[in-house]
Amino acid sequence: MKEVKDFYYKKAKKENYKARSVFKLEEAQNKFKFIKPSDNILDIGCSPGSFSQYMLNKIIKSGSVVGVDILPNNLHHQRFKFILGDIKEMNAETFNNIKFDVVVSDAMPNTTSDKETNHFRSMSLVKSIFNLTKDVLKDNGNFFFKVFDGKDLQDFRKELNDYFKSVNIFKPKSSRDESREVFIFAKEFNNK
């Protein structure tokens, strides 16, 4: 697929961000105000690093970011730690049983030309991310993640409602019009 050099792509390059996805997180933060300067954050699927870059440069003052990905990452920051690996093989012990204030994820599986296959793969990945999130997110913590919209999303949203005070589906302006990606913002975790 040819990379579209659109407004957000050019804006990311101009502002020295690693990817245009940074503006999706920025829009969500402006709307929901869910990341605080002292938060400790887990960034799942963090490579190439634009979410972490944004949080560390614009929001985090005394907190930190731990990034996880199956792809290498070359982001360097004094309050950033990177773990190379598959989240399906991680648990709370991977993070020394530290609890995070916020879990964010821009992770996506490899895509195909079939939208339904992409949706199901995306849902499978997000469910793995949520299973880890339940182990590492603090009570009243927030969860923000990307998923491809499709028929299984509403059932998953209902499941999230059992664990969070509110669950919102959010389509950033910076998402491409043709993309089926949406973000879910789940506020104030309650691990019963």
146 carries an active-site annotation: yes
Query: If you count them, how many residues does the chain have?
Result: 192
105 and 122 in contact (C-beta within 8 Å)?
A: no
Coil, helix or strand at residue 55: helix
Catalytic residue of the set 14, 61, 88, 146: 146
In angstroms, the first-to-last Cα distance of the chain is: 44
Coil, helix or strand at residue 144: strand
Other C-beta atoms within 10 Å of 188: how many? 14
Residue 183 has phi, psi (to 5 degrees) of -115, 145
Catalytic residues, by residue number, are: 146
